[in-house]
Amino acid sequence: KKIIFSGIQPTGVMTLGNYLGAVKNWVALQEEYHCCYSIVNLHAITIRQDAKALRENTLAAYALLLACGIDPEKSIAFIQSHVQAHAELSWVLSCYTQFGELSRMTQFKDKSARHADNVNAGLFTYPVLMAADILLYQADLVPVGIDQKQHLELARDIAQRFNGLYGNVFTLPDGYIPKLAAKVMSLQDPTKKMSKSDDNPKAFVAILDKPETIIKKFKSAVTDSETQVAYREGKDGINNLMSIYSAVTGKTFQVIEDEFAGKGYGEFKLAVGEAVAETLRPVRERFDAYMKEKAYLEDCYRKGAEKAQALSQRTLDKVYKKVGFLAK
């Protein structure tokens, strides 16, 4: 059976982009594969966080994963800082990663420009930690949105380099990027990725937004000055809405074009808003229920960490031996 690994940062709210680009696929994959999913709080501190808020957001993110349908009996769902091997392997791999390679990461360039007052070393070596996450579990597939593709390729390069030196230590991971909604765009500027850190809250849909709020955000989505609902070059706003609608309803673009032929954008935007609101309604309800069950959540993430600990330690032991660390 194939092994799947993926992670999500517990910073702020989870968006429709995170859901359609990644988490929805995590849920589907757990039926068939061995899956490990992590709330990556070590990654989160590359940007300054308030300690109390990070703690709360970490628990909420965990509850939200379960609410989205991650089943802690089927998948290993854990919090990254609970499993020491992540930081440990990250150090080793950082010694097998070149400064030049990390300098080419577009996310580092973006983030260091946006947080110019805190361009810390962790922000720079972030992709090495991500490689450690993936390689520790010998993952075959990594379900992510398209924005993580470059990091994933680096993880593969690092693995290949390490294997070249020491034999077959790591499985080479492949990305698992959805055909649809691999990059959900901002509702206010459809040439930009939908991001929770957008200053304008109308630009993104949070998984936990109320149905009315979701519908309102879609109603005010920026489109174009034409009238035809059609997937075409240059119609970024409509293309984005069609992708979202297709991802949540399963309808093809052709079916959508036929459904809205001769109808205005207003009607289409309302339909997309309603479909998304209906998809997310049960997630929000389950989230509220899980957040009242703190003891259950603790039990789940502790068990998850135990399983992750056992798996990751095997890889770490192998690596320590290969690089020449004297056994304890």
Catalytic residue annotation: 111, 193, 196
Question: Is 248 known to sit in a ligand binding site?
Answer: no
Q: How far is the CB of 186 from ligand TYM (least distance, A)?
A: 8
Q: How far is the CB of 130 from ligand TYM (least distance, A)?
A: 4
Q: Which is nearer to ligand TYM, 128 or 260 (CB)?
A: 128
Site mask for ligand TYM (CB under 6 A), range 167-206, x = bound: --------------xxxx--------xx------------
Total chain residues near ligand TYM (CB under 6 A): 25
Question: Is 9 known to sit in a ligand binding site?
Answer: yes
> Between β-strands 3-8 and 34-39, what pairing exists: parallel, antiparallel or unpaired?
parallel
Of these, 71, 88, 101, 147, which contacts ligand TYM (CB under 6 A)?
147
Q: Considering only residues 114-133, where is the footprint of ligand TYM by CB under 6 A?
A: 130, 133
Site mask for ligand TYM (CB under 6 A), range 17-46, x = bound: xx--xx-----------------x--x---
Q: How far is the CB of 17 from ligand TYM (least distance, A)?
A: 3
Q: How far is the CB of 36 from ligand TYM (least distance, A)?
A: 10
* Residue numbers at the binding site for ligand TYM (CB under 6 A): 5-9, 17-18, 21-22, 40, 43, 130, 133-134, 142, 144-145, 147-148, 181-184, 193-194
